[in-house]
């Protein structure tokens, strides 16, 4: 058990995505509702204040006009004011007119009762025509203002108008609004986190399904797939990527298990042969020649076995990320010429014409000479094995920009189209019985591909049954991996 398995701390709720999403959702909702309600409140407040101020300004204007036009008609003035004030159900207003000395000339009924007149004078001192909020004698809310009014038109003096308007109804409206505001805010704080949590849980459920599927997967159970039906777009693409990864894993696992079965099979055949021959030989007394024959056959099988094991080890090495290549400048034209000379005798024996095609000058590239020699060697031996007498095997190399290209072309039996995509697979043989007889293990082309991949290049095969096969290797001229 690893430490992380044994001592993993229990997941903390506040670290969960559901918590973070719902907290963010609740906070955003809270801020939004607060901002909306606060701006509504302040709009209402300033609207009410403005309409009160306008009303007061309006009244002052009427009173001033009357005082200017009819300075002696105080009774008419009083009547006018009382009529208007009485006509208002709410927002009663009160007016007091003071002469130059500050003695009251006219006061609307109840004004002295409702408003503290000394406070009035104190509050409005030095702030003419500005409305000021004050509390009335019975706790009501007032807005008060003071203004000078010219009496008569010529050589006139001015009186002071004191005006107060009862804004208690407005205050009640604002208080109701504040109550509504706090209630909504309270409800938001309670409802948003819950709704946010359920939304987040609902949104993250597909992830739990992905995790559950991942938990069910093991090397023996790679058939599990995520059913992304109904998933949100982002997660269905994640599920699709995950499923594709599982496809690749499953394919790799199947290839590996096929490979193991093939190894076992290919190792068993020569071992069984050696064993069978030894058992038969030991069943009774044999002549020296018979023993020699058995030993020769055993040696042949042992060579096959050791070749197979050698090839497998070599393949495993080509796949290791730690493999070291001995990079050097290699004259590929010379390398092909050397191999042609090496295979001259066996080709002659098989009745095959083996030749190199002269390109337009030497082809030089940075390669691992030994490995590349081995790759081309495998291709030539394949070509010779599968080309009937009278045929031709041609080796060619040329430069294509930054790439060097090596072709091994034969006029042999060719490979059926359906087998072509598999010839680079390990242990694949088009005709296993024929290859078995010729000693082929089916690893030659896999090794070629491994070597070319180590050079960062590619191997390609084209073939026409009955006409011949061409294998093309392409490698970067200055490849370092
Ligand atoms: N030039 C070719 N012409 C026709 N068939 C070929 C040619 N090269 C390869 N093949 C086919 O591809 C199969 C795989 O080739 P590969 O070199 O990997 O294995 P092998 O030659 O059978 O065994 P090994 O190379 O390990 O001794 C061969 O068995 C053969 O059927
Ligand atoms: Mg081969």
The per-residue pLDDT for range 375-395, each reduced to its tens digit, is: 999 999 999 999 999 999 999
Tell me how many domains the chain contains. Answer: 3
**Residue 3, pLDDT score:** 45
The verdict on 390 and 470 lying in the same domain is yes
Point out the domain boundary residue: 292, 317, 342. Answer: 317
Say how many Å lie between the first and final Cα of the chain, rounded. 38
Can you give the residue range of the structural domain that contains 337? 324-476
User: Which residue's entry shows tokens 């004030």?
Assistant: 85
Q: Is 103 exposed, middle or buried (0-12, 13-18, 19+ CB in 10 A)?
A: exposed
Check if 391 has its Cβ closer than 6 Å to any atom of ligand 1: no
> Which tokens sit at 213?
């599927």
The verdict on 25 and 170 lying in the same domain is yes
Check if 444 has its Cβ closer than 6 Å to any atom of ligand 1: yes
- Residue 187 within any structural domain of the chain: no
Q: Which ligand is nearest to the CA of 424?
A: 1
> Which tokens sit at 473?
């290797």
Least Cα distance to 406 among 318, 475, 329 occurs for 475
Q: Is 426 helix (H, G, I), strand (E, B) or coil?
A: coil
Which parts of the chain register pLDDT below 50? 1-6
Q: Which ligand is nearest to the CA of 448?
A: 1
For 183-208, write each residue's pLDDT tens digit: 998 998 889 888 888 888 888 888 88
- Residue 333 within any structural domain of the chain: yes
- Residue 227 within any structural domain of the chain: no
The verdict on 330 and 426 lying in the same domain is yes
Q: Is 75 helix (H, G, I), strand (E, B) or coil?
A: helix
| Integer angstrom CA distances of residue 388 from 235, 349, 391 | 58, 11, 6
Check if 430 has its Cβ closer than 6 Å to any atom of ligand 1: yes
Around 144, how many Cα atoms within 13 Å sit in the side-chain half-sphere?
27
Least Cα distance to 473 among 457, 454, 451, 455 occurs for 457
- Residue 7 within any structural domain of the chain: no
Point out the domain boundary residue: 317, 333, 367. Answer: 317
For 10-30, write each residue's pLDDT tens digit: 667 777 888 888 888 889 988
| Integer angstrom CA distances of residue 203 from 196, 208, 229, 437 | 10, 10, 14, 63
Q: List, as ranges, residues with CB under 5 A of the ion ligand 2.
A: 382, 444
Phi, psi of 471 (to 5 degrees): -110, 130
The verdict on 47 and 144 lying in the same domain is yes
**Residue 5, pLDDT score:** 47
Least Cα distance to 386 among 449, 470, 306 occurs for 470
Q: Is 8 helix (H, G, I), strand (E, B) or coil?
A: coil
Q: How large is the greatest C-alpha to C-alpha distance in the chain, in angstroms?
A: 163
Check if 141 has its Cβ closer than 6 Å to any atom of ligand 1: no
């Amino acid at each position: 058990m690893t430490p992380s398995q044994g001592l993993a701390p229990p997941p903390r709720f506040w670290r969960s995505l559901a918590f973070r999403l719902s907290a963010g959702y609740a906070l955003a909702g809270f801020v939004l509702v607060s901002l909306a309600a606060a701006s509504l409140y302040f709009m209402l407040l300033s609207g009410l204040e403005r309409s009160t101020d306008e009303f007061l300004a309006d009244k002052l204007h009427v009173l001033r006009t009357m005082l200017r036009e009819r300075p002696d008609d105080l009774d008419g003035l009083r009547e006018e004011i009382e009529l208007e004030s009485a006509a208002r159900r709410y927002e009663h207003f009160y007016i007091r007119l003071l002469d130059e000395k500050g003695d009251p000339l006219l006061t609307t009924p109840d004004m002295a009762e409702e408003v503290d007149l000394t406070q009035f004078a104190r509050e409005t001192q030095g702030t003419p025509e500005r409305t000021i909020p004050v509390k009335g004698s019975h706790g009501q809310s007032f807005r008060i203002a003071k203004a000078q009014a010219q009496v008569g038109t010529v050589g006139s003096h001015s009186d002071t108008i004191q005006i107060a308007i009862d804004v208690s109804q407005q205050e009640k409206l604002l208080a109701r609004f504040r109550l509504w505001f706090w209630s909504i805010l309270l409800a938001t704080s309670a409802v948003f986190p819950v709704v946010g949590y359920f939304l987040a849980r609902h949104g993250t459920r597909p992830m739990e399904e992905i995790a559950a599927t991942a938990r069910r997967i093991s090397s023996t159970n790679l058939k599990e797939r995520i059913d992304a039906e109904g998933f949100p777009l982002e997660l269905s693409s994640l599920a699709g990527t995950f499923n594709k990864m599982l496809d690749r894993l499953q394919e790799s696992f199947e290839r590996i298990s096929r490979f193991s079965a093939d190894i076992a099979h290919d190792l068993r055949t020569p071992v069984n042969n050696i064993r069978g021959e030894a058992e038969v030989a030991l069943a009774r007394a044999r002549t020296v020649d018979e023993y020699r024959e058995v030993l020769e056959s055993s040696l042949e099988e042992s060579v096959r076995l050791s070749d197979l094991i050698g090839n497998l080890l070599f393949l495993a090495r080509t796949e290791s990320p730690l493999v070291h290549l001995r990079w050097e400048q290699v004259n590929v034209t010379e390398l092909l010429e050397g191999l042609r000379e090496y295979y001259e005798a066996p080709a002659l024996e098989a009745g095959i014409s083996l030749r190199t095609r002269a390109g337009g000058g030497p082809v030089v590239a940075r390669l691992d000479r030994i490995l590349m020699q081995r790759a081309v060697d495998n291709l030539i031996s394949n070509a010779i094995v599968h080309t009937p007498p009278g045929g031709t095997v041609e080796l060619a190399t040329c430069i294509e920009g930054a790439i060097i290209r090596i072709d091994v072309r034969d006029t042999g039996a060719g490979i059926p189209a359906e087998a072509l995509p598999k010839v680079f697979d390990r242990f694949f043989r088009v005709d296993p019985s024929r290859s078995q007889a010729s000693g082929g293990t089916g690893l030659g082309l896999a090794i070629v591909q491994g070597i070319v991949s180590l050079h960062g290049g590619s191997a390609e095969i084209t073939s026409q049954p009955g006409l011949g096969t061409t294998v093309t290797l392409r490698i970067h001229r200055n490849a370092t991996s």
